Amino acid sequence: MTDCKKRLSARARKQRSCSKMEDCLIEDQTTFYSKAEHYWKEVPPTVDGMLGGYGSISSIDINGSKKFLQKFLGEGQGKTGTGCALDCGAGIGRITKRLLLPLFRTVDLVDVTQEFLDKARTYLGEEGKRVENYFCCGLQDFQPQPERYDVIWIQWVIGHLTDDHLVEFLRRCRSGLRPDGLIVVKDNVAYEGVIPDDVDSSVCRNLNLLRQLVSKAGLDIICEEQQQNFPEEIYQVHTIALR
């Protein structure tokens, strides 16, 4: 998973920005992924660790996500069910605990760091009994079970995927949805181009590129919102619902 991050200055953005992700990759893909795995193994399994030192915004984030998601949930034509959700880049289960378990009967977690998933088993408490699967896997390799999920929640993690792997992952997610299911992507958004982060081996894409990748995956954007009330010094964060 990635996290909320400070924005670069306008000058730094101009110096680091690329027109597409491949232009930002100095090393090969294997190194790109292995560097990210190593980075997260050094991060403490805490809420503050999951949020890059911005643990104080967790409640604002969760409340915004809940308001966004509840617009789609319910019974009847076109409404998304509340049977099972998948938390992608789940970390210690911050989103599972405060957003998904209160709204869904069961939840699955997937994350590349085993230590985070181990911590999630205690962090989730009694409600964690409704977690059915803890998958330790990078999203570039993860295959959701066909037609299992009502909602697939992907937050602060797409920056760890190359463009091609993101498109392929979104396609696999689409096949993992139940009827009227929903994919939600919530992530940092660059003002222009693609901004690489050499510290955690990730990138931040602008909205136009993200929309292009979503379309390439055969998905439609049905709702898009900017998260409000986050600190001014971090990147804008947008939430996008896909079908």
Q: Does residue 171 belong to any structural domain of this protein?
A: yes
Burial 81-101, CB ≥16 within 10 A → b, else e = bbebbbbbbbbbbbbbbbbbb
Residues found in the chain: 243
CA distances from 96 to 87, 92, 107, 152, 238 (A): 6, 9, 7, 11, 19
The two structure tokens encoding residue 58:
């967790």
pLDDT of residue 18: 80
Q: What are phi and psi of 234, to 5 degrees?
A: -100, 165
The reply to whether 94 falls in a domain is yes
Q: Which of 227, 233, 190 is nearest to 60 (CA)?
A: 227
Whole-number pLDDT of residue 10: 43
CB atoms within 10 A of CB 141: 10
Token reading at 96: 């599972």
Decide: helix, strand or coil at residue 174: helix
Q: Which residues are annotated as a binding site for S-adenosyl-L-methionine?
A: 89, 94, 111-113, 139-140, 155
- Asked, for residue 1, whether it belongs to a domain, the answer is no
For 87, the enclosing helix (H) or strand (E) is strand 84-88
> In the structure encoding, which two tokens stand for residue 14, read together?
């101009």
Question: Residue 11 domain-assigned?
Answer: no
What 3-state class would DSSP assign to 195? strand
If one counts the domains in the chain, the total is 1
In a domain, 12, yes or no: no
Residue 224 forms part of a structural domain: yes
Range of the domain at 129: 20-242
With b meaning 16 or more CB within 10 Å and e meaning fewer, what string describes 3-22? bbbebbeeeebeebbbeebe
Interatomic CA distance for residues 201 and 24, integer angstroms: 11
pTM, whole model, 2 decimals?
A: 0.94
pLDDT, tens digit only, all 243 positions of the chain = 656 666 644 444 444 568 767 666 656 899 999 999 999 999 999 999 999 999 999 999 999 999 999 999 999 999 999 999 999 999 999 999 999 999 999 999 999 999 999 999 999 999 999 999 999 999 999 999 999 999 999 999 999 999 999 999 999 999 999 999 999 999 999 999 999 999 999 999 999 999 999 999 999 999 999 999 999 999 999 999 999
- Give the pLDDT score at 125: 97
Residue 82 belongs to a domain: yes
Q: Which residues contribute to the annotated binding site?
A: 89, 94, 111-113, 139-140, 155
C-alpha 186/C-alpha 228 separation (Å) is: 13
pLDDT at 15: 46
In a domain, 77, yes or no: yes
d(CA 35, CA 108): 25
**Where residue 178 sits, what CATH number does that domain have?**
3.40.50.150
